Structure 1
Amino acid sequence: MRTLAIGDIHGGCRALTQVLERAEITPNDKLIFLGDYVDGWSQSAQVIDYLIELSTRNKCIFIKGNHDVWCEQWLAEGNVNDVWYVHGGKETIESYEGYSKARKLEHLDFFETMPLYHLDDENRLFIHAGFTSMHGVQKEIHREAFYYDRTLWEMALTLDKRIKRDSELFPNRLKHYKEIYIGHTPTTRYHKYEPMQAANVWNIDTGAAFTGKLSAIDINSKKVFQSNTLMHLYPDEMGRNK
C-alpha cells in the first residue's frame, strides 16, 4: 500500500483527476490531501464532489487549509470575506451556481469534519501551513497557525545544511517529527515547479493556483506525480494570476 500526499488543488478538478490517473491510484492507496481544495480555477464545487466520491473508494485524509476555512464560513453563514472574494472566492461562489441547499450542506459537513493536521504511525506530520509552538502541534496555542503559518517553511528553507538533526542548533520545532509535509506556500515563489525539501520538511504546493502544476508524492519512495500546468488545462481562465 502506498501513501501519497497531494498539494493545493485550488479548484483545478481537471488537474486532480489527471494527477491521480498518472499516479495510477488503486483502492489500496492512502491519500492525504494538504488543503486548499477551493479558490482559483472554475471547478471548486466540483473538486469537493470528486473528493467526497473518492473517499468512498480510498482511505482519504483531508487537511483543512485557509481557503477551506473561508469557504466553510460562506457555506455556513453566507458571509463573503472580502479578502477571500478577491483571492479566489468569487470563482468558488460561481462554481456553486445551481447547487441545491442540501448539496451545499453536504459540502459544509465535509469542510467541518476536516482535521487541522494528521500524524501517522511513523511520526510523520501532515499539515497545511505550519505551527509556531516549539513543543509541537499538540501544544499550539493559535490554531490559525495550522493553516496560515509560513515561518516553519521559512525556517527550514534558511537552515544551514551543515546543522544535523542531533545538533543543539537544529530547531526544536522540526525535531518532533520524522518528516513534515506542507502546502500553502507555492514553490513557484522560488522558481521551482516540483516539491521542495528543506531539512525534514517537504513542500508539496507547486503553484497549481498560479502558473504551476498539481503535485502528488509517494511519501516512502519520494516519487513525484504531476498534472499539466493548470493554465493549459484551463486556457480561458486566469486562476489566481491576477
Structure 2
Amino acid sequence: MRTLVIGDIHGGLRALHQILERAQVSSKDKLIFLGDYVDGWSQSPQVLDFLIELNTKNNCVFIRGNHDELLLHWLKDNKDNLLWYNHGGEATVIAYEEVSHENKQRHIEFLQSLQDYYLDEQQRLFIHAGFTNMNGINFEYFPKLFYWDRTLWETALALNQNLNPGDLSYPKRLTLYHEIYIGHTPVTRIGKTVPVNKACVWNIDTGAAFKGPLTIMDIDTKEFWQSEPLHQLYFDEKGRN
C-alpha cells in the first residue's frame, strides 16, 4: 500500500484523472488530498462528485482548503465574496447553475466533513496552508489559519540553509513534525512546477490553478507524477488570474 498526497486541484477534473492514471492508483493506495478542490477551472462540482465517489473505493483523507470554505459559505449561507469571485469563484458560481439542489446538499455535507489537518503515526503532518503557534497544531488559537496561513512556508523558504534544528535561532515550528505537507501557496511563485522541499516542509501545490500541472506524490519514495499544465487541458478557459 502506498500513501499518496495530492496538491490543489482547483476544479481541474481532467488533471485529476490524468495523475491518478499516471500514478496507476489502485484501491489499495491511501490518498491524502491537501484541499482547494474548487475554484479556477470549470469542473468544481464534478470534482466534488468524483471525490465523494472515490471515497467509497479508496482510503481517502480530505483536508480543508480556503477555497473549499469559501464555497461552503456561498452554498450554505448565500454569502457572496467579491474577492473570492475574482480569484476563481466566478467559474464555480457559473458551474453551479447546472447543479441540482439535491447535489448541492451532498456537496455541502462533503465540505462540512473536511478535516483541518491530518497527523499520521510517523509525525507527518498534512495541512492545507500551515499554522502559526510555535507549539504546534494543538495550540493554534485561530483554526482558520490552518487553511489561510502562508508564514510557515515563507519561514521555510527564508531559512538559512547553514542552520540545523539544534541551533537556538532555528524556527521551533519546523522542529515539531517529521515532515509537513502543504498546498495553498503555489511553487510557481518561485519559478518551480515540481514539489519543493524546504526544511521539513514539502509544498505540493504546483500551480494547477494557473499554468502549472497538478501533482500526486508518494510520500515514502518521493516519486511524483504530474498532469499536463491545466491551461492546456482547459485551453478555452481563462482559469485564475
Q: Shorter-chain TM-score: which interval? A: over 0.9
Higher mean C-alpha deviation, range 4-13 or range 92-101: 92-101
Q: Deviations over 1:12-68 (max 9, x none)?
A: 000001011101001010000001000000000000001001111100111001100
Cα distance in 2 for residues equivalent to 1:45 and 1:72 = 12
Report what 2:40 is aligned to: 40
Counterpart residue number, 1:2: 2
Letter in structure 1 aligned against 2:214: L
Deviation at 1:91, TM superposition (A): 0.6
Check whether the contact 1:46–1:95 (CA below 8 A) recurs between aligned residues. no
Letter in 2 for 1:189: R
SS for the counterpart of 1:96 is helix
| Contact kept in structure 2, 1:130 and 1:148, CA below 8 Å | yes
Q: Where does structure 1 differ by over 4 angstroms across 4 or more consecutive aligned residues?
A: none
- Of residues 97-106 and 195-204 in structure 1, the stretch that sits farther from structure 2 once superposed is 97-106
- Partner SS state of residue 70, structure 1: helix
SS at match of 1:221: coil
**For each residue in 1:168-221, what CA deviation from the matched residue of structure 2 results, as whole angstroms up to 9, or x when unmatched?**
222111111000000000000111010100000000000000010001110000
Following TM superposition, by how much is the alpha carbon of 1:79 offset from its aligned partner in structure 2, in angstroms?
Answer: 1.5
Q: Greater CA deviation, 75-84 or 132-141?
A: 75-84
Structure 1 CA distance for aligned equivalents of residues 234 and 144 of structure 2: 31
With 69-78 and 94-103 compared, the bigger mean Cα shift is at 94-103
How far residue 98 of structure 1 moved from its aligned partner, in angstroms, is 2.4
Q: CA RMSD in A?
A: 0.8
Q: Distance in 2 between matches of 1:210 and 1:99?
A: 25
Q: Distance in 2 between matches of 1:159 and 1:39?
A: 31
Give the Cα–Cα distance (whole angstroms) in 2 for the partners of residues 138 and 228 of structure 1: 38
Q: Is the 8 A contact 1:132 1:149 kept in 2?
A: yes
Deviates more, 1:46-55 or 1:169-178: 169-178
Following superposition, the deviation at residue 137 of structure 1 comes to: 0.6
**Gap regions ≥5 residues in structure 1:** none
Normalised by the length of structure 2, the TM-score is 0.98
Query: What is the aligned partner in structure 2 of residue 122 from structure 1?
Result: 122
Contact preservation (8 Å) 1:42, 1:95: yes
The aligned residue for residue 151 of structure 1 is: 151
| Whole-angstrom distance in 2 between the partners of 1:165 and 1:4 | 27
- Superposition deviation, residue 160 in structure 1: 1.0
SS of equivalent residue, structure 1 residue 15: helix
Structure 1 residues 91-115: Cα deviation after superposition (integer angstroms, max 9, x where no partner): 1111122222111011000000101
SS in 2 for 1:225: strand
SS of the residue aligned with 1:97?
helix
- TM-score normalised to structure 1 length: 0.98
Indicate the larger mover: 80-89 or 122-131: 80-89
State how 1:58-73 maps to structure 2 within 5 Å: 58-73=58-73
Q: Percent identical across equivalent pairs? A: 56
Kindly provide the amino acid, as one letter, of the partner of residue 221 in structure 1: T
Distance 1:5 1:88 in 2: 23
Q: Give, as a single letter, the amino acid of the residue that structure 2 aligns with 1:179.
A: E
Kindly report which structure 2 residues correspond to 1:100-179, keeping only aligned pairs within 5 A, or say none.
100-179=100-179
Aligned pairs for 1:7-26 (under 5 A) are: 7-26=7-26
Query: Which amino acid letter does the alignment assign opposite residue 161 of structure 1?
Result: Q
User: Separation in 2 of the partners of 1:63 and 1:101?
Assistant: 24
SS in 2 for 1:152: helix
Note the C-alpha offset of 1:165. Answer: 2.1
Instruction: Give the Cα separation in 2 of the matches to 1:229 and 1:154.
Output: 25
Q: Could you give the per-residue CA deviations for residues 111-153 of structure 1, whole angstroms, max 9, x where no partner exists?
A: 0010111001110000000100000011000111111111100
For residues 2 and 167 of structure 2, the distance between their equivalents in structure 1, rounded to whole angstroms, comes to 32
Residue 118 of structure 2: SS of its match in structure 1?
strand
Task: Provide the C-alpha distance between the structure 1 equivalents of 2:197 and 2:98, rounded to a whole number of angstroms.
Answer: 42
The SS at the match of 1:5 is strand
